[in-house]
Homo-oligomer: A and B are copies of this chain.
Amino acid sequence: MVGIPTQAEGPAICALTAKAGVFTQYEVDTLAEMWQEYDSAGSEATGYEFIVERTGGGAVAGYACYGLRNAEAGIYDLYYIAVDPDGQRSGVGRRLADAVEQAVRAGGGRMVIAETSATSIYDSARAFYAGLGYRAEATISDFYKPGDDLVIFVKRLA
């Protein structure tokens, strides 16, 4: 079931980001900072929203972090989506992404943007977004570092 994380689930969310195995240390650290800000100041002040999917036993099986990028234009950023490797291929990621879309629609949003890397370590991330109906609409070469391009995936909500 997808829901809003409790304060007590923060450490599990941060640990899962590292365990997922696809994020750099900088990305893991940045997510931890975003959680801390969200936890202490709330979504209104930070612009960050978190949702989690829990296992039957109540453990955090995955989470997504998203937020408004441009209120006037109705555009949201999907900052992070991470699933416990032990639970992948069970649809957790898709349910989280669907829940983000549902929330974006409910907030009047018309577009979700997911930025990722063109390198092979993110092959599965790009395939995941493509499977959800996101399209790679723009790239900026050598963004993350020389040879590591930014790919901007966009999903336009009907």
Residues of A within 8 A of B (CB): 24, 26, 70-73, 75, 111, 113, 137-145, 152, 154, 156
How far, in angstroms, from A145 to B74 measured CA to CA in the complex? 9
Closest to A141 in B: B137
Tell me whether A140 and B138 are in contact in the complex, defined as CB-CB below 8 angstroms, given that A26-B72, A72-B26 are known contacts: yes
CB pair A139 B140 closer than 8 Å: no
Contacting A140 at CB < 8 Å: which of B24, B71, B141, B154? Answer: B154
Q: List 20 A-B contacts (CB under 8 A).
A: A24-B72, A26-B71, A26-B72, A70-B144, A72-B144, A73-B143, A73-B144, A73-B145, A75-B143, A111-B143, A113-B140, A137-B140, A137-B141, A138-B138, A138-B139, A138-B140, A138-B152, A140-B152, A140-B154, A142-B156
| CB neighbours of A72 from chain B (8 A) | 24, 26, 144
**In the complex this chain forms, how many copies of it are found?**
2
Least CB distance, A145 to chain B, in whole angstroms: 6
How far, in angstroms, from A103 to B111 measured CA to CA in the complex? 33
Closest to A148 in B: B73
| CB neighbours of A140 from chain B (8 A) | 113, 137-138, 152, 154
